[in-house]
Amino acid sequence: MDEFINKYEWLLLNLHRNCKNSKTYIVSVVASGKNAADANSRLEVLAKETGCTFINVTKEAFENLGFEKVFNVLKPYMRVFPVSFAQAMQMA
């Protein structure tokens, strides 16, 4: 797990360095079990430490809400570029 988080942090730092005007979102691991829960908690901490946004979509969310509702959770974070005037006003 430590190696996974270290590589993920390296990837995020490279993204921040090379994509200065972007915003990075980290979506949780969609699985169940101790390893997934540990990975998600560590990814959430990593997101805070690196200025990213953590989106918690777990396997339980898929089971309880269904794919369409989980997609609706993710939809506000998705953008089509270039951004239209109407989209820019929604972000403001």
Q: With H, G, I as helix, E, B as strand and everything else as coil, classify residue 53.
A: strand
pLDDT band at residue 37 using 50, 70 and 90 as cut-offs: confident
Q: pLDDT by residue (tens digit) across 20-30?
A: 778 888 988 87
Token look-up 């560590």 returns 42
Q: Helix, strand, coil: what percent of the chain each, to 5? A: 65, 5, 30
Whether this model's pTM surpasses 0.85: no
Q: pLDDT by residue (tens digit) across 48-92?
A: 999 998 988 876 666 776 666 777 777 777 766 666 777 677 665
Distances in Å between the Cα of 67 and the Cα atoms of 36, 47, 57, 83, 87 are 19, 24, 11, 26, 24
Q: How far apart are CA 61 and CA 72, in angstroms?
A: 12
Q: Which residues contact 74 (CB under 8 A, 6 or more apart)?
A: 27, 55, 57
